[in-house]
C-alpha cells in the first residue's frame, strides 16, 4: 500500500527556517516525480514544487523561488522541502504527493507550518 | 501561468441529484486535467486523471470529460459521502495550477 507521511511542521518565527520531510513507502520511490502542495487555512490548493525521479530537475512556484529548496534521498525513500526566510503567508498545511501519468494519485496527510512571532 | 477557473464556486444539492462542475483553462491544455475531492480536515483524494480516466477505487458515479480549455466533472446520483470540495488541476506545464475549488453542500 502506498503511504506518504510528512513531518517537520510546527511554529516558526518570521525570517526563520524549517525543513519538511516526506517518508514514502509501498512503491518504487525512485520511479516517481514527487511534488509539494500547500493549503493556507480556509483557502485552496497551491502547487509549490516538484523534483524529478533522480533529483536533478526541480521546479518551483515563481513566488517561492530562492526561498524554498526541494531535494530527495532515494536511498531513504524521502523527499524534503527546505523553507528559508519564511513569512506569515507561508502558513499552511504542506502536502507531499506522488506525481505521474495518473496525476497526483497519492497524498500524505499533511504537516502544518505556522509562521508567527 | 495557466489560470484554472471553476464554476460554480459552491452549490447546494440533494442526495440523488446529478451534479456538474465546470473547469476552464486560460489556454489549451489538451487533456492534462485532473480532479480531486477534499473533505474538511483531510488530504485531497484523486478522482479523475487525464480528463476522463477514473482513479482506481473511485465509484463509477464520478466521470470527467473535456479537451482543450473546457472540462466537466459529473457526479450522477449524489451520495452523502460526496459532500466535499472539488478541485480541478492542470498538469500541462508548471506551475501545476489548481482551480479555486467548488464546495458541494447539502440542500
Instruction: Out of B38, B91, B100, name the one closest to residue A103 (CB).
Output: B91
Mean pLDDT of chain A: 97
Whether the pLDDT of residue A66 is over 90: the answer is: no
Query: Which residues, in sequence order, are CB contacts of A7 under 8 Å at separation 6+?
Result: A20, A21, A22, A23, A111
Whether the pLDDT of residue B107 is over 90: the answer is: no
Residue B42 is predicted with a pLDDT of: 98
- What integer is the mean pLDDT of A51-76? 96
Residue B60 is predicted with a pLDDT of: 96
Chain A residues whose C-beta is within 8 A of a chain B C-beta are: 35, 37, 44-47, 50, 59, 61-62, 95, 99, 101-110
CA distance B96 to B31: 14
Residue B98 is predicted with a pLDDT of: 98
State CA B106 to chain mean position distance: 17
Interval B62-97: pLDDT, tens: 999 999 999 999 999 999 999 999 999 999 999 999
Residue A65 is predicted with a pLDDT of: 81
CA distance B25 to A4: 30
Amino acid at each position: 500500500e502506498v503511504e506518504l507521511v510528512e513531518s517537520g511542521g510546527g511554529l516558526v518565527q518570521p525570517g526563520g527556517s524549517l525543513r519538511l520531510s516526506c517518508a514514502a513507502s509501498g512503491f518504487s520511490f525512485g520511479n516517481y516525480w514527487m511534488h509539494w502542495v500547500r493549503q493556507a487555512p480556509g483557502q485552496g490548493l497551491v502547487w509549490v514544487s516538484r523534483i524529478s525521479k533522480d533529483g536533478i530537475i526541480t521546479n518551483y512556484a515563481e513566488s517561492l523561488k530562492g526561498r524554498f529548496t526541494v531535494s530527495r534521498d532515494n536511498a531513504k525513500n524521502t523527499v524534503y522541502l527546505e523553507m528559508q526566510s519564511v513569512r506569515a503567508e507561508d502558513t499552511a498545511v504542506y502536502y507531499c504527493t506522488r506525481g505521474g501519468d495518473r496525476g497526483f494519485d497519492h497524498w500524505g496527510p499533511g504537516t502544518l507550518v505556522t509562521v508567527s512571532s | 501561468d495557466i489560470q484554472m477557473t471553476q464554476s460554480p464556486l459552491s452549490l447546494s444539492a440533494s442526495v440523488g441529484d446529478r451534479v456538474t462542475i465546470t473547469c476552464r483553462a486560460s489556454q489549451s491544455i489538451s487533456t492534462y486535467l485532473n480532479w480531486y475531492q477534499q473533505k474538511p480536515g483531510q488530504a485531497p483524494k484523486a478522482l479523475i486523471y487525464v480528463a476522463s480516466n477514473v482513479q482506481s477505487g473511485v465509484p463509477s458515479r464520478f466521470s470527467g470529460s473535456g479537451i482543450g480549455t473546457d472540462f466537466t466533472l459529473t457526479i450522477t446520483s449524489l451520495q452523502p459521502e460526496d459532500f466535499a470540495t472539488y478541485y480541478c488541476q492542470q498538469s500541462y506545464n508548471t506551475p501545476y495550477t489548481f482551480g479555486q475549488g467548488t464546495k458541494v453542500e447539502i440542500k
